[in-house]
């Protein structure tokens, strides 16, 4: 993978919509691949009572995210792993909540097929997974934005390789 996702944060106000669309339940494992400043991880842990894990390679973001999680008293439910997301197992994930480009989602699709269990959900802002048909797509206009953007939901079918 030569292309590296830049750090472009998800608009704060649509994060609850993404997590609701994925029907996140208390205690579920929610991962954000490329967690940036941990904004998704924090909302998942604090407001949805998920076990939230962020995976991020940029050390500055990892440090700031960990500090924010400590300050918010969320260390029991939320953590940040400083690793390349290609190398992190997704076998125990219930929900992937991400903001990744279609290019990266396409590269990760074989890993999703191999590791995500049937019934796991993937919700991504703005970009679809090229090879998959969305279970649901909704349009949102984030605060301060002018045009509608999509949130895509995918539910891993029982025919995955698990």
Task: Give the footprint of ligand SAM on this chain (CB under 6 A).
Answer: 4-5, 7-10, 32, 34-36, 39-40, 55-58, 61, 84-86, 98-99
Cβ proximity to ligand SAM, 10 vs 79, nearer residue: 10
Cβ proximity to ligand SAM, 127 vs 132, nearer residue: 127
List the Cα angle 21/37/114 in 5-degree steps: 55
Cβ proximity to ligand SAM, 9 vs 73, nearer residue: 9
Residue whose CB is nearest to ligand SAM in the complex, by number: 34
Minimum Å gap between C-beta 104 and ligand SAM is 7
Spatial contact of 125 and 100, defined as CB atoms under 8 Å apart: no
Minimum Å gap between C-beta 123 and ligand SAM is 11
Minimum Å gap between C-beta 83 and ligand SAM is 7
- Burial of 52 from C-beta contacts in 10 A (0-12 / 13-18 / 19+): buried
Minimum Å gap between C-beta 1 and ligand SAM is 7
- How far is residue 118's CA from residue 162's CA, in Å, rounded to a whole number? 7
Cβ proximity to ligand SAM, 47 vs 157, nearer residue: 47
State the angle between helix axes of 59-71 and 39-48 in degrees (0 to 180), rounded to the nearest 10: 20
List the Cα angle 36/9/43 in 5-degree steps: 75
């Amino acid at each position: 993978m030569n292309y590296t996702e830049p750090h472009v944060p998800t608009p704060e106000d649509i994060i609850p919509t993404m997590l609701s669309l994925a029907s996140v339940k208390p205690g579920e494992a929610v991962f954000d691949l490329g967690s940036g400043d941990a904004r998704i991880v924090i909302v998942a842990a604090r407001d949805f009572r998920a076990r939230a894990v962020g995976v991020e390679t940029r050390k500055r973001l990892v440090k700031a995210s960990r500090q924010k999680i400590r300050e918010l008293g969320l260390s029991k439910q939320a953590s940040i792993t400083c690793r390349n997301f290609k190398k992190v197992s997704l076998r125990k994930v219930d929900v992937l909540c991400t903001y990744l480009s279609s290019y990266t989602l396409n590269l990760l699709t074989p890993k999703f097929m191999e590791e995500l269990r049937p019934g796991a959900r993937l919700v991504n802002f703005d970009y679809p997974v090229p090879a998959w048909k969305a279970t649901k797509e909704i349009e949102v206009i984030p605060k301060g934005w002018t045009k509608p953007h999509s949130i895509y939901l995918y539910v891993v079918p029982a025919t995955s390789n698990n």
